[in-house]
Amino acid sequence: MACKNRNYLKVLDLKKEILRLKKEKNAVILAHYYQVPEIQDVADYVGDSLGLSQKAAETDADIIVFAGVHFMAETAKILNPDKTVVLPDLNAGCSLADSCPPEAFKAFKEQHPDHLVITYINCSAEIKAMSDIVCTSSNALKIVESVPKEIPIIFAPDKNLGHYISKVSGRDLVLWDGSCIVHEAFSIDKLLKLYKEHPGSKIIAHPESEAHILDAANYIGSTAGMINYVKTHPQEKFIVATEAGILHKMQQEVPNTLLIPAPAEEDNTCACSECAFMKVNTLQKLYDCLLNESPQIDVPEPIRKKALLPIERMLELSK
């Protein structure tokens, strides 16, 4: 008990110091839904990739503390070249971004020279610089449908999101063979068994999940879309097929609703799917990076300028 008390007091002290430093340095803390609860609780804004990009584009803060993964902080730096952008831990990478190496994608793009390139925001600055439009899971369908049907499209890097958008839009998309290990970890057998244990529950899923998971879902949407869906059905029970970090903010929005994480293939302590990259950020690391203004995110200016255009097109189309 004494140990728990000390940990609790340490968290309280860290939060107090973070708030003090944030005011002193004119900083803003942007956090993704998949971050640990104590980081979400101290953030100025918690959201999905689209919301975070919009907030990064409009902030007047001098320092952006990005509690997420590397490509998210890169996006903030691309939008804010004159601001200091820090990430609590540079090891906060992304399996999906890693699945699309720039040199390999360059060669892939050259094989389809007449195609317009739409890339999911979960990719590196180098990939964004080779793109025509960036999208998120919130706006991918809208952006694909904004392209005239006679123009062929490359969609990268997430093949599962691409398959889903192709199915819903009726458009043939040339897909890069990339995926997110977190969203491919769900077990359909365990999911259906869990559904039987909770009759009447609704399955909601992120479109990065594989087709057999999406086929079983009652609702498919981005993290923000999933939260909005449960808010409009507060008396329902939900099985949630995305990274388990979303449950913190979701439960705050619907405190009396039963939320059950969808199970992963691998047996683990949480009976869910968690992103190890997202979880490397901690409250202590957030405090340290704000205090020291390090580690900073830098994007070479030639790449930044090229990557900015497709991001700006996305933000304009998302209005």
Q: How do the domains of the chain map onto residue ranges?
A: 1-92+279-298, 96-181+302-317, 182-274
Q: Is 121 annotated as a binding residue?
A: yes
Q: Is 32 annotated as a binding residue?
A: yes
Any idea which fold 1-92+279-298 has? Rossmann fold (3.40.50)
Q: Is 120 annotated as a binding residue?
A: yes
- Of all residues in the chain, the percent with pLDDT exceeding 70 is 96
- Of all residues in the chain, the percent with pLDDT exceeding 90 is 90
- The pLDDT of residue 200 is above 60: yes
Tokens of 16: 């107090």
Query: Quick one: which of 276, 134, 273 has its CA closest to 206?
Result: 273
Q: Is 135 annotated as a binding residue?
A: no
Report pLDDT digits (tens) over 136-187. Answer: 999 999 999 999 999 999 999 999 999 999 999 999 999 999 999 999 999 9
Q: Is 223 annotated as a binding residue?
A: yes
Q: Is 272 annotated as a binding residue?
A: no
Q: Is 70 annotated as a binding residue?
A: no
Report pLDDT digits (tens) over 84-122. Answer: 999 999 999 999 999 999 999 999 999 999 999 999 999
Q: Is 198 annotated as a binding residue?
A: no
Report pLDDT digits (tens) over 221-232. Answer: 999 999 999 999
Q: Which long-range contacts (CB under 8 A, 24 or more apart) does 146-151 make?
A: 146/317, 147/116, 147/118, 151/115, 151/116
CATH number of 182-274: 3.40.50.10800
Any idea which fold 96-181+302-317 has? Rossmann fold (3.40.50)
- Residue 275 identity: C
In contact, 287 and 230? CB cutoff 8 Å: no
Identify the residue with better confidence: 50 or 148. Answer: 148
Report pLDDT digits (tens) over 234-261. Answer: 788 999 999 999 999 999 999 999 999 9
The pTM (predicted TM-score) of the whole model is: 0.92
pLDDT, mean of residues 24-53: 96
Q: Is 137 annotated as a binding residue?
A: yes
- Residues contacting 35, CB < 8 A, separation 6+: 43, 46, 67, 68, 245, 278, 281
pLDDT at 165: 98
Identify the residue with better confidence: 208 or 319. Answer: 208
Query: Residue 84 half-sphere exposure, CB side, CA atoms within 13 Å?
Result: 18
Instruction: Give the pLDDT band (50/70/90) at residue 208.
Output: very high
Same fold, 1-92+279-298 and 182-274: yes
Q: Is 100 annotated as a binding residue?
A: no
